Structure 1
Amino acid sequence: MTSTTHLALALAALALAAGCDKPAGAPGGPAEEPAAALKPGDGGPLKPGDAAPDVTLKLHDGKEVKLSSLRGKQVLVYFYPKDDTPGCTIQAKGLRDGWADLQGAGVEVYGVSTQDAQSHTDFIAKYELPFPLVVDDDGAVARAFHVPLRGDFASRQSFLVGKDGTIKQVWLEVDPKEHAAAILDAAKS
C-alpha cells in the first residue's frame, strides 16, 4: 500500500471513532447511512404506530428479556455506538440523572450497543447506571429495529415503545445532552 492509502485508512478510522462523540447527523458527526443499507423489504425506519419487533434482549448480566413480555409498560430501547465514549457517556448519564422521573413516568430503559457483556458491565459500574445494557454483538436487535450499523457500531437512535407494544415515538437523530428530557416528554404525552 502507498502512504496515501495508509493515510486514508487512518483518517477513515478516526472519522468512525469520532462518530461516537457526536449525535448522528450533527455537524462533524457521521453521515447517515442511506436507507439502501437496510435489507430489501425492510421498508425504511420504524415509525410511530408500527409494531415493535418482538426481539429477545440479551442483557449484560446474562438474563434475557423478550420485548413482548414488557407489554403494559412503556419501554425505551435506545441504540448507541460504543460504551464509555464521550457522547455515549453523556447520553447514559443523562438517563441515569433523570432516572427517578423516568421511573415515575413508568418507563423501562434498555441501552443497546454491539459491545460484549464485560464492556457493558464495566460501563454500568463506572457511571452507576441503573438500567440494563443489551449485548447486540451480532447486530440482530439493531437490524430488527432498522437501525443502521456503521462498521461494527449502531447509529444513535431511540424508540419509545408504548404500553400496547407499538412504537410510540422515534428519534432517528439524538442529542445526547437533551435525550432524557425528550424521552420524559414523550412518555408523559
Structure 2
Amino acid sequence: MHPVVLLLWGFLRARALAPGDKAPLLQAQDSYGRPVDLRGTWAVLWFYPKAHSPGCTFQAKRYSELYEEFRRLGVQVYGVSHDPASEQCAFLERLALQGGMIPDRDGRLARAYGVRSLFGFYSRDTVLIHPEGRIERVWRGVNPLKDADTVLAYLKGRLR
C-alpha cells in the first residue's frame, strides 16, 4: 500500500473515546520537563495543530485568560501538540500564557485519546477527564474561538 494511503488511513481511523471510558492516564512531561499527573483531578487536554498559528494562538490565549477560573474549580489545563518542547516554551513565553503544554512528539497521547494526526498536525479536539480516571466529555473538531468558554461552561454546570 502506498505510504500516503497508509498515512491517511491512520488519520481517519483514530479510535474514538466516549464518556465513561477509562482515561488513558499516560505518563507525560510538560514542555519544561516537569512530570504531569492527571490522576485524581479534573483535567482538560486541548489538542491543537501548531504553536504560533492564528487559531492556536487565539485558543491558547483564551485558555490562559480563563486559567484562574479553571484553577478555582480544581481543573488542570494542558495544551497538547506535536510541537517540540522548545517551541511550546517559546509559545508560552511569547504570549505570557498561563497553564501548561505537553509536547507529544511520538504521538502517544494523540493516539491514546483518538486525536487524528496528519503530517504531525493534530485535529483540534478537547478531552475532559474526571477525577475518577474516566472520560467525562470529548469535543471533536472544536472551534478555537469558543473552545475554552464551552469547556468552562460545561464544568461550571457540572460542578455546581
TM-score range, shorter chain: 0.7 to 0.9
Can you give the 5+ residue segments of structure 2 that lack an aligned partner in the other structure?
1-10
Corresponding residue for 2:95?
A: 127
1:117 to 67, 85, 110: 85
Higher-Rg structure is 1
Letter in 2 for 1:34: L
Corresponding residue for 1:34?
A: 12
Corresponding residue for 2:131?
A: 163
TM-superposed deviation, 1:165 = 1.0
Corresponding residue for 2:21?
A: 50
In the alignment, the residues of structure 1 paired with residue 148 and residue 37 of structure 2 have an alpha-carbon distance, to the nearest angstrom, of 24
Residue deviations 1:137-166, cap 9 Å, x none? 111110111111111111110101011111
Quick one: percent identity of the two aligned structures?
34
Moved over 3 A (4+): none
TM-superposed deviation, 1:66 = 3.7
2:107 to 135, 139, 142: 139
Using the size of structure 2 for normalisation, the TM-score is 0.87
Secondary structure in 1 matching 2:105: coil
CA RMSD between the two structures = 1.2
Matching of residue 62 in structure 1 with residue 33 in structure 2: yes
TM-superposed deviation, 1:34 = 2.6
TM-superposed deviation, 1:49 = 0.7
TM-superposed deviation, 1:105 = 1.7
CA contact (8 A) 1:74 1:187 kept: no
Residue deviations 1:19-78, cap 9 Å, x none? xxxxxxxxxxxxxx533xx3xxxxx311111111021122111122243xx31x210011
Matching of residue 88 in structure 1 with residue 59 in structure 2: no
Q: Which has the higher contact order (CA 8 A, sep 6+)?
A: 2
The more displaced of 100-109 and 136-145 is 100-109
Can you give the 5+ residue segments of structure 1 that lack an aligned partner in the other structure?
1-32, 39-43
Letter in 2 for 1:154: Y
In the alignment, the residues of structure 1 paired with residue 16 and residue 68 of structure 2 have an alpha-carbon distance, to the nearest angstrom, of 30
In the alignment, the residues of structure 2 paired with residue 101 and residue 62 of structure 1 have an alpha-carbon distance, to the nearest angstrom, of 25
Secondary structure in 2 matching 1:160: strand
